[in-house]
Amino acid sequence: MNQTTERREAVQVSVDVVLLTLVEQQLHAVLLRRAAAPFAGVWALPGGFIHTAEDADTKASAARVLQTKVGIEGAYLEQLATFSGPARDPRGWSVAVAYCALLPAQSLPPQRDDLCVVPVSALPQLPFDHRAILDAALARVRSKSLYSSLPVHLCGETFTLPQLQLVYENVLGEPLNKVSFRRKMDEMDWLEAVPGALQGGAHRPAQLYRVKPAFRQELALSPRGL
Amino acid sequence: MNQTTERREAVQVSVDVVLLTLVEQQLHAVLLRRAAAPFAGVWALPGGFIHTAEDADTKASAARVLQTKVGIEGAYLEQLATFSGPARDPRGWSVAVAYCALLPAQSLPPQRDDLCVVPVSALPQLPFDHRAILDAALARVRSKSLYSSLPVHLCGETFTLPQLQLVYENVLGEPLNKVSFRRKMDEMDWLEAVPGALQGGAHRPAQLYRVKPAFRQELALSPRGL
C-alpha cells in the first residue's frame, strides 16, 4: 500500500476467464458473444466486473461469471495472471484478473447462439488483449500438465488409465510412454480405483479410477515431472 | 469483459512488492514504515496506487514504487499473484497486484529511518494481508529456485560457482550436491566465464562467471529441476 497519501485514481477492474475443455481430443475454449459495447456482438472470453456486494474475492467473481454468464458450476478454477494498462480496453486504464478454468466436455452448457466452443487451434479474432490472455492460459496448462494432476479436471468423475493418459497427451500435444506415465501417476499417489467398477467388454475390461478426496481441490504434484 | 452492461463499481487497485535480498546468508525482506493512514507508522510492504498517467501497466507501477519509495532501480521483478476482497484493506473492496522483486544486498539503498531489512524468519506483524503476500512470495521463490536461474538475481554481476551454489542453498534452505549442481548449471547453459577474471588468492583462485546476455531478463529453466 502507499507510503504517503496518494490520490486513488479510477481504474477499471474486471475478471476474464479462459474456460478450456477437451472435445474430440482437442483443447477447446468457450467464448461468449458480447452483448454490449465495446465490441458488441464479438466473440470474447467470459468476463465481467467485480460485484463488491457479493464477491468475496476475484476468484469468486470468476466463479460467478461462469455461473451467471456461461451457466456452469464446479469448474476447476485457478488464477492465471493480471493484465493491465491504458490501452487494453477503450474505456481507459484497466486491470483484468485472468483465471483459467477446466471443465469436462460433458459438463458444458446446452448450445446457445451466444456461446461457442472453439478449438484453440482455430480461434476467431478476439477483442481487448483476450488472445494474449488465452495464449498465457494455454502455456500455463501445458507446462503445469508436465508435473501435476491438472489435466484430470478435463475428465469426468471416473476414468480408465488409458483415458487419463490420452487426456494428458491431448493437452501436451505429444505421446507419452505408458509405463513411465503409470509410474508417475503411482508416485503422485492421487488416484484410487473405484471398487468393482470396470469399463469395456467382457474381454479385458479396464479398471475405473477417480481422484482421491485430498486432491479434488488441490493439485497433486510430481517432483520430477512426467 | 462483461457481456451485458454492468455498473462498474469503485474498486481500489494497488501494487505491493515483496523485495527480497540475501544478508549474511539469510533471505531478508525490505519493509517501509507507512507515513499515512491506514496503519500509519507501521512497517509494511512497499506499495502504492496506479498512476494512470505514467504507468504502462502494473509492473511499471511496481518498478516506480521501488524507484520512488525504496530508492532502487534494476531489481528483478515478476508478478506474483493478485490478492483481493472486501476486508483486506479498511478502505473497502480492494485489489492488490503483488510483485516479487530480488536484489543483491550491495544494491540496497542507504540506511533510512523509514526503511528496514528484516530476516524473513523474524518479520514484524504486517498490516493488510501483507504477511500472506510475503509468504506466497517466499513459496514462489523457493519452488522456482528448484528449476530456474532465479536466485542469481540475489548475486552481484559476477560470482564464482561456489558463491552461486551458496546463494541457491540459502534460498532453498538446504545443502546441494556440488557435482549435480554444476551439471545442472551446465545443462541450463546460462552462465559464461568472465575472460581472465579470477577470485581468491594465488592458491587455486576461482573463475568468475556472469549471466549470458540472453538470460539477463529471461530466466533459464531446468527441465528436470535441481
Are the CB atoms for B25 and B166 separated by under 8 Å? yes
The pLDDT score that the predictor gives to residue A139 is 96
pLDDT digits (tens, 9 = 90+) for B96-129: 999 999 999 999 999 999 999 999 999 999 999 9
Check CB contact of A86 with chain B, cutoff 8 Å.
Answer: yes
Q: For residue B138, what is its C-alpha cell? A: 517466499
Chain B, residues 138-157, CB within 8 A of chain A, namely: none
B39 contact partners, CB below 8 Å, separation of at least 6: A1, B127, B128
The pLDDT score that the predictor gives to residue B5 is 60
Stretch B10-39: mean pLDDT: 96
Helices assigned H by DSSP within chain B: 58-65, 130-145, 161-172, 178-188
Work out whether the CA dihedral B104, B106, B110, B111 comes out positive or negative: positive
Regions of chain A short of the pLDDT cut 50: 1-3
Residue B1's pLDDT band, with cuts at 50, 70 and 90, is very low
Q: Which residue of A has its CA nearest to B64?
A: A2
pLDDT digits (tens, 9 = 90+) for A46-93: 999 999 999 999 999 999 999 999 999 999 999 999 999 999 999 999
B69, B79, B85 ranked by CB distance to A3: nearest = B69
Distance from the Cα of A200 to chain B's closest Cα (Å) equals 37
Q: Could you say which DSSP state residue B54 is in? A: T
Residues carrying CATH 3.90.79.10, chain A: 12-145
The pLDDT score that the predictor gives to residue A226 is 67
The pLDDT score that the predictor gives to residue A106 is 95
Q: In A, which residues are within 8 Å of B37 by CB distance?
A: 5
Asked if the A151-215 domain carries CATH number 3.40.50.300, the reply is no
A82 contact partners, CB below 8 Å, separation of at least 6: A95, A96, A97, A98, B58, B79, B82, B97
Radius of gyration of chain B (CA): 20
Q: Three-class SS of residue B71? A: coil
Is the predicted pLDDT of residue B9 greater than 90, yes or no?
A: no
- CA distance readout (Å), A12 to A77, A181, B51, B224: 22, 45, 13, 40
The crossing angle, in degrees rounded to 10, of helices B130-145 and B161-172 is 140
- Rounded Cα gap, residues A180 and A156, in angstroms: 23
Q: In B, which residues are within 8 Å of A46 by CB distance?
A: 3
- Rounded Cα gap, residues B47 and B50, in angstroms: 10
- Rounded Cα gap, residues B114 and B70, in angstroms: 10
- CA distance readout (Å), A183 to A176, A208, A212: 12, 17, 17
Interface pTM (ipTM) of the complex?
0.92
The pLDDT score that the predictor gives to residue A77 is 96
Residues carrying CATH 1.10.10.10, chain A: 151-215
pLDDT digits (tens, 9 = 90+) for B72-87: 999 999 999 999 999 9
Q: In A, which residues are within 8 Å of B66 by CB distance?
A: none
Chain B, residues 9-48, CB within 8 A of chain A, namely: 9-14, 16, 32-39, 44-48
A135 contact partners, CB below 8 Å, separation of at least 6: none
The DSSP string of A139-176 is HHHHHHHTTBSGGGGGS-SSB-HHHHHHHHHHHHTS--
- Rounded Cα gap, residues A69 and B28, in angstroms: 45
Stretch B3-24: mean pLDDT: 86
- Rounded Cα gap, residues B92 and A50, in angstroms: 13
- Rounded Cα gap, residues A184 and A172, in angstroms: 16
How many CA atoms lie within 13 Å of A77's alpha carbon, on the beta-carbon side?
Answer: 20
The pLDDT score that the predictor gives to residue A175 is 95
Top-level CATH class of A12-145? alpha beta
